[in-house]
Amino acid sequence: MKRAFLLFILATTALLSCHNNRQPEEKNEKAPVIIPLVTTPFYYAQLKGQVGGRMITMQLLKLAPHLFRGYYSYDSAGVPISIWGSEDSDQVKIYEDNASKEEERFFGGKLTDDGYFMGVWHGDSTSFHFELHTDMNKCMPLNIYYSTDSVKLVPSMAASPVGTASNSIIWPDSSADSTLSKFLIQEITGSAKINDPHKYVRKAVDSFVLGYRLAARDVDSAEIASTSSASWNWTAENDMKVVWNTWPLLVIEKYVYDFTGGAHGNWGSSYKTLDLAKKEVLTPEKVFKPGYKEALAPFLDKAFRKKFHIDEDESLDQSLLVKTITPNNNFIMTDKGVAFSYSPYEIGPYALGQVTLFVPLSEIKNLMK
């Protein structure tokens, strides 16, 4: 077994006035924050700039070596779009979630140590040059911690199956207001008493390694050597991402993937919308008037049809496991709308993946408290 190792980095962030329980732009704004996007091993950075003449805000996280995740949104629409990508030498390619399978949409370019991401966006049969810059104003500064480990199923076998686990988390920067940090740690870990991110990020990895070792006790090494052993290449991946981070709203995603044999792994994402000013989790019950579930269903049906190009005369249960889509508690809120996210099998088949549906606030103002 390879010795367990832990990688972590504190991304350079600024002490913003949003750490306090007031609007961050009130006064005493600090100098612009520069996050080195090349030499910093892991980080969270908020970037702003234009694509095709439209302002965008990107939540970019480097969660593991050569691995990027996050979200971006057009400021005028406020719809979070999932992104993921990797780097090869000095080139970075960041793909965006796209319901259309016909054409890829992606940001291709270079990161710089003075906080810029520059290149060309491709999609919709066109392309636009972009230049995004680090802008940590009006947001919660966060750090990234990362851990990974692997272990052989049969240590004495050269070609033994391997179990691999990785975990990355976000954590409030040390410059943040202490009460705000405690609130965020509570929502990240489930306990405000946890104060060591190194131990916390390692916990899930160690748990997987222990479980894999226990499972290995019952393995017949001779059988493994003579038959296909791919089902023993177990994997556990966990990470956290920033979906939205504009005071006072912070939306975080927790992603989980597990493969312990079988036809495919199981995965899904859960979301939390945090009101940092009030230090509370926003739920649909807190945002909408009673009876909102029935009232919102037609808007979610409409959003699904638009996203997946389903005609009005086609019944939704031809594509889904349900006739109509009702709100759940996997809730996202931005300054322009709300979204509900559904894990594989929740409303549709596994192949459909996770489905996230956005509804503009302009369409549902009468349903809000």
Q: Are residues 272 and 319 in the same domain?
A: no
Mean pLDDT of 295-315: 96
Mean pLDDT along residues 281-289: 98
Tokens of 144: 């990234």
Average pLDDT of span 274-295: 98
**Exposure of 205 by Cβ count < 10 A (0-12 exposed, 13-18 middle, 19+ buried)?**
buried
Residues 207-218: pLDDT tens digits?
999 999 998 888
Burial environment of residue 260 by CB neighbours within 10 A (0 to 12, 13 to 18, 19 or more): middle
Same domain, 128 and 228: no
Q: Are 131 and 47 in contact (CB under 8 A)?
A: no
Question: Tell me: the pLDDT tens digits for 312-357?
Answer: 999 999 999 999 999 999 999 999 999 999 999 999 999 999 999 9
Asked if residue 23 has pLDDT above 50, the reply is no
Do 153 and 78 fall into the same domain?
Answer: no
Separation CA 297–CA 300 (nearest Å): 5
**Domain co-membership, 228 together with 313:** no
Task: Confirm whether 26 is domain-assigned.
Answer: no
**3-class state of residue 278 by DSSP:** coil
Residue 43 domain-assigned (yes or no) = yes
pLDDT value at 148 more than 60: yes
* pLDDT at site 21: 43
Residue 98: per-residue pLDDT:
81
Instruction: Give dist(CA 324, CA 295) in Å, integer.
Output: 12
Q: Classify residue 10: in a domain, yes or no.
A: no
Same domain, 249 and 323: no
* Together in a domain, 157 and 259: yes
Which range scores top for mean pLDDT: 7-11, 160-164, 338-342? 338-342
The model's pTM is 0.90
Residue 99 is assigned to a structural domain of this protein: yes
DSSP 119-145: EEEEETTEEEEEEEEE--TTS--EEEE
Percent share of the chain, pLDDT over 90: 78
Total domains in the fold of the chain: 3
Among 134, 152, 174, the domain boundary falls at 134
In a domain, 163, yes or no: yes
Q: How sure is the predictor about 252, in pLDDT bands with cuts at 50, 70 and 90?
A: very high
Residue ending a domain, choose from 109, 134, 159: 134
Q: Which of 6, 77, 59 lies closest to 243, judged by CA?
A: 59
The reply to whether 151 and 197 lie within a common domain is yes
Cβ atoms of 171 and 185 within 8 Å: the answer is: yes
- Output the domain CATH number for residue 79: 2.40.128
Q: Tell whether 243 and 295 lie within a shared domain.
A: no
CA 315 to chain centre: 31
Q: How many helices (H) and strands (E) does the chain have?
A: 6, 18
Which residue, of 247, 282, 317, is where some domain finishes? 282
- Quick: pLDDT tens for 56-71: 999 999 999 899 999 9
Does 12 fall in a domain? no
Is the link from the previous residue into 248 a cis peptide, with omega within 30 of 0?
yes
Does the residue 240 lie in any domain? yes
Q: Which long-range contacts (CB under 8 A, 24 or more apart) does 261-270 make?
A: 261/231, 261/232, 261/234, 262/231, 264/350, 265/235, 266/344, 267/343, 267/344, 267/354, 268/343, 268/344, 268/354, 269/330, 269/341, 269/343, 269/354, 270/330, 270/341
Residue at 92 is within a domain:
yes
CA pair distance 155, 5, nearest whole angstrom = 18
Domain limits for position 63: 34-134
**Average pLDDT of the chain, as a whole number:** 90
